[in-house]
C-alpha cells in the first residue's frame, strides 16, 4: 500500500485528535534572546483555551520561551517571568488571555498534583503553560500543543511545536 504523506506525521493508533503529533513549527535558536523572540511569534497560534506542555531538560529553555509568550500577550514583561519551580503556579493576566505558567518538576504524586487544582484554572480565557507535565499521562492526553526543546550545543536549541 502506498504511504500517504499527509498522514505520515500523525501518531499511528492514537484516536484522540489532540494527542496526535504533527509538527507545526521547528526552529533552531542560538541564544536566549532568539528563543524569546520565537516565543513572541507563538501568540497567534495559542488562542485560548489551550493546555500547552513544554518538554525538555533542566536549562533547555522552557521558561525562557514563556517570557516571549507572556510578552506577546501583554500579560507580563519578559524580566518579570521567572521560574515557578517553588511557587508552582504563576498567573499572568493579559487583555485577551490569562496565562498560567506551571512547573511540575517538584510534583511527584497525583495527590500533590491535585492540590494545584489545575482543572479549576482551565477556562475559555486561559492558557496553561506547563513544564514537566509529561510526568502525568492524563496531562499528556489533554494537551492541545506540545513544545519540545533539544540542546544542540552550549547555546543551541532546537524547538519543535506540535499539535
Q: Which residues bind Mg ion (CB under 5 A)?
A: 62-63, 83, 131
Gyration radius from the chain CA atoms: 16
Closest approach, Cβ 109 to Mg ion, in A, equals 20
Q: Which three-class secondary structure state does DSSP give residue 80?
A: helix
Closer by beta carbon to ligand ADP, 132 or else 136: 132
- Among ligand ADP, Mg ion, none, residue 148 binds (CB under 5-8 Å by kind): none
Closer by beta carbon to ligand ADP, 22 or else 30: 30
> 131: closest CA among 57, 74, 48?
57
- Among ligand ADP, Mg ion, none, residue 31 binds (CB under 5-8 Å by kind): ligand ADP
Neighbours of 4 (CB within 10 A): 8
**What's the DSSP call for residue 59?**
T
Rounded to 10 deg, the angle between the 32-41 and 62-72 helix axes is 40
Binding to ligand ADP, residues 56-85 (CB under 6 A)? 56, 58-64, 83
Looking at 19, 27, 32, 74, which residue binds ligand ADP (CB under 6 A)? 32
- Among Mg ion, ligand ADP, none, residue 155 binds (CB under 5-8 Å by kind): ligand ADP
CA angle 82, 85, 90 (to 5 degrees): 55
Closer by beta carbon to ligand ADP, 59 or else 114: 59
Amino acid at each position: 500500500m502506498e504511504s500517504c504523506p499527509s498522514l505520515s506525521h500523525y501518531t499511528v493508533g492514537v484516536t484522540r485528535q489532540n494527542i496526535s503529533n504533527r509538527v507545526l513549527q521547528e526552529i533552531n535558536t542560538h541564544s536566549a534572546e532568539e528563543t524569546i523572540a520565537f516565543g513572541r511569534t507563538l501568540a497567534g497560534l495559542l488562542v485560548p483555551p489551550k493546555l500547552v506542555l513544554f518538554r525538555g531538560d533542566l536549562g533547555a529553555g522552557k521558561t525562557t520561551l514563556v517570557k516571549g509568550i507572556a510578552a506577546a500577550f501583554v500579560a507580563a514583561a519578559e524580566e518579570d517571568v521567572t521560574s515557578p519551580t517553588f511557587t508552582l503556579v504563576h498567573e499572568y493576566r493579559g487583555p485577551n488571555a490569562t496565562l498560567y505558567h506551571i512547573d511540575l518538576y517538584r510534583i511527584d504524586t497525583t495527590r500533590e498534583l491535585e492540590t494545584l487544582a489545575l482543572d479549576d484554572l482551565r477556562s475559555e480565557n486561559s492558557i496553561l503553560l506547563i513544564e514537566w507535565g509529561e510526568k502525568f499521562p492524563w496531562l499528556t492526553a489533554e494537551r492541545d500543543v506540545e513544545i519540545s526543546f533539544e540542546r544542540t550545543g552550549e547555546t543551541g536549541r532546537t524547538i519543535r511545536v506540535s499539535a
